[in-house]
Structure formats: C-alpha cells, structure tokens
C-alpha cells in the first residue's frame, strides 16, 4: 500500500496518512472486515515513522472507519464509501464482502483536485470564526435566494469575469449539481429535447436521462462546439436548450473562441434557445476570455466553490434573470427547504477576508506549472493532445498505442486508474481519448505510465 505523503506540505504527516488511508479505503471500495497491511509494513513501504501510522489508524478508529482487532491489527469497520460520481451505487448497497481490496491507485482521470492540494488553515479558521459569532447560521436554513452577504461576494467575483449583475439575479445552490438539477426540473419537462456537448459531463447526461429529457449531441472542437452542426440540430429539432462548458471544458480542457461564442449567441436568439453555461472550473484559471453570460444577459450561468475551496460546504450558484431565479428558488424551497446557513456564512467569510482569492491564485499557479509539465510528458510519450488547454484541470489526450486494452494494462501495472472509455459520451459510445487530471499527471505513477506507453510501439500516426 503506497501512500502519497508530501513532506513539504502544510498538512501534518499524521493527517496526511489519515487522509491517504481513508482515500485508499474509499477509492478501492474496501469491504468491511478487510485487514489493512500491518502498521510496520505501511511504515516501511512509505518511509514513515511507525508511531505516526499508529496514530493515524487510531484516529480512523475513532471516526468509525477502522476497527482495531486484538492480535490482527486494523480492519475496515464499515462498508467503505464509493468515490463520488461512481455509478455502481446500488451495487455498493449489496457489496460482496468476500471481494479482495486492490492496492491504492492514482485516479488519473479524476474530476477534482486531489486531497493533497486542498488547504486547511483558512477554511478551518473561518469555520471556527462563524461557529463563535453567527448563532442564527448555526441553526437556520439560509434564506431562499441564499445568504445576502454571500450573494454580494459572488457578484464581486463575477465582476472580474465581466459579468455585471444585481444580486436579485443570484440564487445559491447546494453545489453546481443542485443548480443543474433545479434548471432541468424547472425549465424543462419530460420529452423536451436539448443539445449537449460530446464529449461532455457524465453526471449531466444521467440527470437529463433521469428527468426524461432527450439529448442531441454536438461535437466539441478545440474552439467550442461545432457551430455548423449545432445550427443543423437547431434547424431540424428545435431543442429547448444547450448545456455548455464554455471555458476549461470537461473533459477536453479547451475554451470557446470569441467567434464561436458570438455565433452561439446569435443562433440562440434566432432559435429561441436557452443557453445554460456551466462554468464550475472558472476559478482554476486567471486567463482572459469572455463568458457567454458576459455577452448576453439571457444566458443562465452556473458556478461553484467545490472545485477550489471545498466540496463539503456544498455551495454553488445560478445567475439568471429575475423571473427564472424566482421559479428556481421556489423549487429549491419545495425540494430542499433551502441551503445551510452555516456553510454559506463560512464561504462568505472566506470571500470577504480575501483568503479565497489568495487560495485560487496559488492553485492557478501550481496548475499552470503542472500543466506545462504534463503536456511535455505527453509529448515525450508521443500522445496526441486535443487542443492545448491553457487553464483548468483537464487535458484530453490519447496514446499512440491504439489498443485500449494494452493502454489499460500499462496503467494497471503503474498503479494508475484511467477514466472509462464511454463515460464522456452522451450515448455511452466508446473512444480512445483519456481525460488527464493535470493535478495528478506529475505523480510518479503517472510519469511511469506515460513512459510505458511511449516505449511499446513505434508511432502509428
């Protein structure tokens, strides 16, 4: 069991071991009763002090994740949780407890920053601050549109993207997920038809399917959706809406060219198309680029703080016109009674005191550096890269080894998990492109994997 411990990080080593073990149990769906390798073994392999490993295991025991078995070390106490976004949830409820846990692996195609990138101090400070001063926040729902102070801060950040709005156009949501869900439930009805990008965001496809919405695919080019194909779809099917990741697109990492943005808005006006711009990766890049929402007030815009600060606060937002916000707020109240006043206060505090701004600057710099390295590693290994992302979390690339089974075998040997071949297609079609998470691409396991894919065969393209 190799744990990735960063001795330069601000997070104490014991806490890193806690997180790494917890992550290992989670990402491998380790079953209850499964035995951990011995403390001595974990310490030896990872060059750690045994007492640190013991302390970490004891903390996890206190949290109910591990149980201590006299004479046989530590075992997993309860069904391990799945990594978020994994599909086999129902299977999990009936997990086979005889299944053996695999070794810890690097999720090279993961959709978030790895836990090692997250920063504790400011967030923990804000939490303690709010717990001391904001009694109402401890107990009450936030207001239906979201905490006024938070909405003000969100508007200030939107100003930097040239999106200027009044706060009656902002609705806070439990992450971008609730934003998408409210939009789909409120503005679309079963049987409606919308355009989605291919490749695109898997959970959006599942959400649309859940609500009985039909999907039309438009191909994503390095400069945005293929506008000629989009126009043909609009002409033929008159869909209700278009869901788009305009910047740092998931999974390709590419952003809209200005001319494509203008054309999309023109088509939207012409065909009465609802444009839903999902910009959850916005704060992972400081580069220029006008959002669709900055160009046209009719665009519905979704943002989130899950990708940068914390997924645990569950705070995102929707920007739309006042009438739409009113309808979304009503459905938000009916379906969830509103958000956590506490979590919204914590985020408002970090936005107001500048800690959030500094955090994302650090993340952007580190990502820019790692993206350069990753692009070089891929080039050295002869991978084909889709566009050349200049911001965000993703690179979309494929190995010269066109046999995906072979690529996967190499990945497995290096302790790397690739994203599924079909995940990013609205209809589940197979392809040989991979989503590479920039923040994982410089990990030694990823480097070894890229090298392995270079040496096996001569270039095929």
Secondary structure in 3-state letters for 71-113: CCEEEECCCCCCCCCCCCHHHHHCCCCCCCCCCCCEECCCCCC
- Measured from the CB atom, the residue of 341 and 392 that comes closer to a second copy is 341
Asked whether position 311 contacts a second copy by CB under 8 A, the answer is yes
- 137-176 positions binding a second copy, by CB under 8 A: 137-145, 147-149, 151-152, 167-168, 174-175
For residues 211 to 250, the per-residue mask of contacts with a second copy, x marking binding by CB under 8 A and - elsewhere, is ----------------------------------------
Asked whether position 197 contacts a second copy by CB under 8 A, the answer is no
Q: Considering only 288-296, 322-330, 368-376, 395-403, which stretch makes contact with a second copy by CB under 8 A? A: 322-330
DSSP for 260-319 reads HHHHHHHHHHHHTPEEEEE-TTGGG-------HHHH-TTSEEEEESTTTT-SSS--EEEE
Beta carbon of residue 179, minimum distance to a second copy (angstroms, whole number): 10
* Member of 68, 72, 286, 335 binding a second copy (CB under 8 A): 335
Number of C-beta neighbours around residue 334 at 10 A: 9
Task: Check: CB of residue 421 under 8 Å from CB of residue 430.
Answer: yes
- 60-119 positions binding a second copy, by CB under 8 A: 63-65, 77-82, 84-87, 89-94, 115, 118
- 5-34 positions binding a second copy, by CB under 8 A: 11, 15, 18-19, 22-23, 26
Beta carbon of residue 24, minimum distance to a second copy (angstroms, whole number): 12
Q: How many residues can be counted in the chain? A: 461
- Phi/psi of residue 388, each to 5°? -135, 90
Cis peptide bond N-terminal to 199, omega within 30:
yes
- Measured from the CB atom, the residue of 305 and 383 that comes closer to a second copy is 305
Beta carbon of residue 146, minimum distance to a second copy (angstroms, whole number): 8
- Measured from the CB atom, the residue of 166 and 236 that comes closer to a second copy is 166
* Member of 99, 120, 372, 376 binding a second copy (CB under 8 A): 120
Beta carbon of residue 124, minimum distance to a second copy (angstroms, whole number): 4
Gyration radius from the chain CA atoms: 23
Task: Check: CB of residue 171 under 8 Å from CB of residue 328.
Answer: yes
Asked whether position 279 contacts a second copy by CB under 8 A, the answer is no
Burial degree of 36 (CB within 10 A; 0-12, 13-18, 19+): buried
Number of C-beta neighbours around residue 288 at 10 A: 11
């Amino acid at each position: 069991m190799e744990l990735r411990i960063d001795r330069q990080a601000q997070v104490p080593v014991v806490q890193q071991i806690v997180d790494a073990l917890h992550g290992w149990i989670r990402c491998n769906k380790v079953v209850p009763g499964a035995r951990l390798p011995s403390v001595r073994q974990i310490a030896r392999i990872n060059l750690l002090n045994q007492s640190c490993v013991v302390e970490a295991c004891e903390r996890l025991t206190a949290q109910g994740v591990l149980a201590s078995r006299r004479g046989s070390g530590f075992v997993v106490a309860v069904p391990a949780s799945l990594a978020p976004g994994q599909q086999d949830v129902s299977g999990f409820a009936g997990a086979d407890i005889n299944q053996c846990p695999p070794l810890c692996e690097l999720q090279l195609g993961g959709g978030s920053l790895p836990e090692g990138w997250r920063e504790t101090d400011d967030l923990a400070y804000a939490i303690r601050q709010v717990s001391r001063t904001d009694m109402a926040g401890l107990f009450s729902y936030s207001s239906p549109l979201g905490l006024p102070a938070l909405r003000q801060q969100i508007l200030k950040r939107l100003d930097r993207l040239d999106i200027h709005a009044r706060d009656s156009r902002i609705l806070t949501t439990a992450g971008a997920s609730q934003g998408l869900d409210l939009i789909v439930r409120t503005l679309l009805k079963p049987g409606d038809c919308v355009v989605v990008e291919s490749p695109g965001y898997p959970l959006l496809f599942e959400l649309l399917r859940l609500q009985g919405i039909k999907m039309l695919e438009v191909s994503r080019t390095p400069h945005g959706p293929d506008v000629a194909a989009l126009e043909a779809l609009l002409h033929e099917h008159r869909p209700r809406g278009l869901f788009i990741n305009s910047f740092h697109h998931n999974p390709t990492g590419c952003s809209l060219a200005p001319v494509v943005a203008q054309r999309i808005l023109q088509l939207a006006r012409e065909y009465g198309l609802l444009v839903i711009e999902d910009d959850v990766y916005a704060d992972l890049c400081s580069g220029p680029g006008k959002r669709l929402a900055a160009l046209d007030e009719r665009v519905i815009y979704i943002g989130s703080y899950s990708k940068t600060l914390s997924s645990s606060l569950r705070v995102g937002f929707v920007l739309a016109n006042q009438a739409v916000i009113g309808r979304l707020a009503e459905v938000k109240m009916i379906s969830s009674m509103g958000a956590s006043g506490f979590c919204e206060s914590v985020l408002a505090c970090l936005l107001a005191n500048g800690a959030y701004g500094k955090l994302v600057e650090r993340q952007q710099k580190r990502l820019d550096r790692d993206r350069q390295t990753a692009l070089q590693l891929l080039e050295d290994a002869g991978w084909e890269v889709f566009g050349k992302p200049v911001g965000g979390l993703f690179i979309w690339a494929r190995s010269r080894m066109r046999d995906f089974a072979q690529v996967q075998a190499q990945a497995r040997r290096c302790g790397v998990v690739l994203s599924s071949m079909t995940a990013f297609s609205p209809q589940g079609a197979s392809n040989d492109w991979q989503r590479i998470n920039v923040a994982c691409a410089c990990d030694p396991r990823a480097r070894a994997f890229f090298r392995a894919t270079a040496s096996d065969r001569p270039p095929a393209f």
